[in-house]
Structure 1
C-alpha cells in the first residue's frame, strides 16, 4: 500500500489538484481539514443582486454620457479572487440560487491552485470570461499586473481619455475572507497613481475562517492508522501547526530525543511555502523537512522527491 500523505487542508471542490497529483505519484492523499469555512450568505446574496441589477452589464459608457450618469450606473468590469474559499463561496451561491446575468469579463486570481478552482467555475457559469494572474504568485504582483492589464482593456473598450478617469472607469469586485491583507486595494487605489491608472476595487467578505475543534483528534487518528515509515504531512498555513506538533511530539512537545527520533522515522513534514515554514521556526523552533519552492502540487511533490533522493 502506498504511504499516506496527509494534506492539512479542506479538499477543494469540484476537484483538488493535490489529490490528482499525489494519487498518481505513489502516495495515498488524505485530507485533514484544519480550518472551518463559513459562508456569509447575506453578502453572497448581495453579490447576486449586483448581477441581477446590471452592475456587471457589458454596456460601456460612451462619450455622450455625463459624468453624473456614468457614476450613477455604478458597475464592475471584472472580479478578483485570491483564495479557493472565495471561489467556492461564489460557486455555492450560483449553484443554490443561479446567476441572473453572465457577463464576459476578466477574472483575476493568484497562484495555480486558486486558478484551477476558478477555471472550473468559469467553464460552467461564465464561459466567455477570461482568467488572468495565475503566474503572479503574490497579491502585490497581481495588483501591479492588473494595473497594466485591466487599464489596457478599458482603453481598448472606451478609446476616450475622459472615460479613463477613476470616477467613470468600471471598478473591480474583490471577494475575500474575513482575514486578508490589504495590499491589492492599497496598490490599485494608491492616491499617488495618475488618475487614469487608479482602479476602484470593492471588497466583499463572503466567508470567515476558524480552526476546527475536531482537527487535532482527526489528525491523531490518521497518524495512528498508519504503522509504516515514510508518511508525509503537508502544512498549508500556520493554523493547526501547534496541534500537529503536539500530536507528533515534535518541537517543544518532544518527550525526549528518543521520542523525536522515532517520530521522524515515521513522519516527514513539508510546508506549502516560507510563511508557514518561518512560523514553525520562529514560534516552535521546529525545522520542517521540506519547504515547497512553488505553492502547488507540483512544487510540493518535486521538493519531496528531491528530499527523498538525498
Structure 2
C-alpha cells in the first residue's frame, strides 16, 4: 500500500468535529495550519440576543402596517461563515436565548455551503427548533442571493399595503457585499427587494505565526520523504506567505524553490483562485467545484489522474 499523501489545510480545525479531518483521514494525512485568528464581538452578539428577546423575530399576526408596534422586523438570518455560526452559538451558550415558540415566527437560516449548514443544523436542533435551513448547496454568495430572491419572496410576497420583514446578516469585519447588493438592488422591482441588515460579530486577522508554522510543516513532510504534498487554501488571507514559502508565483526565484512541483495547491472555490491569479499571477492546480471536502477531493483526484 503506497504511503498516504499529506494534505495541509490552511484553516483552523473546527470543533468538536471537522468534516475535512473526518473525510481526508482515510486516504490522506490531514494537517491543519491556522491562518487567521478570530475575535468575537461580544457587544454586537449581545445585541443580536436582545433582538430576539425584544420581539424583532415575533409574529405580526398579518398586521404589517407602520402603526403596528409589534411588526415583525426580521424573517430570517444569513450565515456565510462558520465563524459567524460559532459566535452566535457561543453567545447562546453563555447568555441563553429565551424564546416563546408560540410567538416567534418560523425562522429561516440561509447559508452558503454544506459545512456551514452542518454547523447550523447542530445549533438549530439544540436552540432553534422549527427553524428552516436553506441554501446548503448554493456554493457561492452570488448563487445564494439569487436563490433567496425567489425563496424569500414566495414566503413573504409584498403588496402595496404591506412590506416584508428583512433579514439579519451576521458577518465578519472583512466580507463581500454581493448578497446585500443583490437583494436590495435598485434594478429590482420595489416589491421584490429584501432589506438586509449586517451586524459584525467577529473580526479577523492573520496569525503572526502562520508563515513559520506553514514552513515547518512543509519541511517536516519533506524530511519524512513524502514526494507529493497538497496544500488547500480556504481564503485570500495567507496566500502571499504560502507562495513565499513554496517559492511560487512572484517568489519563484526565492523561498525553497518548488521547481519540480511536488507540492500542489488547491483552492476551496473561485474567489481564492481568482485572488491568486489576479494578485500574484499564480494559477492554482485545482479549484474545487463545490466548497466541501468531497469537492476538494474530486478536484485532486482528477488532477492526479492526468
TM-score strictly above 0.5: yes
Deviations 1:94-140 (A, max 9, x none): 12111122643111111222222222221222121111112222223
Q: Which runs of 5+ in 2 are unaligned?
A: none
Deviations 1:25-65 (A, max 9, x none): x11211111111111110001001111112112x22335x6
Q: Which runs of 5+ in 1 are unaligned?
A: none
Q: 2:95 aligns with which of 91, 94, 97?
A: 97
Corresponding residue number in structure 2 for 1:67: 66
Please give the alpha-carbon distance, in whole angstroms, between the structure 2 residues aligned to 1:281 and 1:307.
18
Partner SS state of residue 215, structure 2: helix
User: Which structure shows the higher helix fraction?
Assistant: 1
Please give the alpha-carbon distance, in whole angstroms, between the structure 2 residues aligned to 1:257 and 1:246.
6
Corresponding residue number in structure 2 for 1:291: 287
Closer/same/farther in 2, CA of residues 273 and 125 from structure 1, 3 Å limit: same
Corresponding residue number in structure 2 for 1:32: 33
Give yes or no for the alignment of 1:308 onto 2:297. no
What is the TM-score normalised by the length of structure 1?
A: 0.87
Closer/same/farther in 2, CA of residues 107 and 255 from structure 1, 3 Å limit: same
Corresponding residue number in structure 1 for 2:54: 53
Corresponding residue number in structure 2 for 1:238: 236
Corresponding residue number in structure 1 for 2:131: 129
Please give the alpha-carbon distance, in whole angstroms, between the structure 1 residues aligned to 2:66 and 2:251.
63
Deviations 1:62-83 (A, max 9, x none): 35x643125x645211111111
Please give the alpha-carbon distance, in whole angstroms, between the structure 2 residues aligned to 1:61 and 1:161.
16
Please give the alpha-carbon distance, in whole angstroms, between the structure 2 residues aligned to 1:142 and 1:231.
33
Q: How many equivalent pairs are there?
A: 297
What is the TM-score normalised by the length of structure 2?
A: 0.88
Does structure 2 retain, via aligned residues, the 8 Å contact 1:108–1:131? yes
Please give the alpha-carbon distance, in whole angstroms, between the structure 2 residues aligned to 1:122 and 1:257.
46
Corresponding residue number in structure 2 for 1:43: 44
Deviations 1:185-208 (A, max 9, x none): 222223443343222221111011
Give yes or no for the alignment of 1:210 onto 2:208. no
Please give the alpha-carbon distance, in whole angstroms, between the structure 2 residues aligned to 1:2 and 1:124.
37
Deviations 1:263-298 (A, max 9, x none): x23x22111223322332333333322222222111
Partner SS state of residue 61, structure 1: coil
Closer/same/farther in 2, CA of residues 180 and 123 from structure 1, 3 Å limit: same
Does structure 1 retain, via aligned residues, the 8 Å contact 2:247–2:255? no
Does structure 2 retain, via aligned residues, the 8 Å contact 1:48–1:100? no
Counting only pairs closer than 5 Å after superposition, residues 180-195 of structure 1 correspond to structure 2 as 180-195=175-190
Partner SS state of residue 46, structure 1: helix
Please give the alpha-carbon distance, in whole angstroms, between the structure 2 residues aligned to 1:195 and 1:257.
54
Please give the alpha-carbon distance, in whole angstroms, between the structure 2 residues aligned to 1:161 and 1:210.
44
CA drift of 1:234 comes to 0.5
Please give the alpha-carbon distance, in whole angstroms, between the structure 1 residues aligned to 2:266 and 2:273.
8
Please give the alpha-carbon distance, in whole angstroms, between the structure 1 residues aligned to 2:187 and 2:268.
35
Closer/same/farther in 2, CA of residues 171 and 222 from structure 1, 3 Å limit: same
CA drift of 1:179 comes to 1.6
CA drift of 1:162 comes to 5.5
Closer/same/farther in 2, CA of residues 43 and 268 from structure 1, 3 Å limit: same
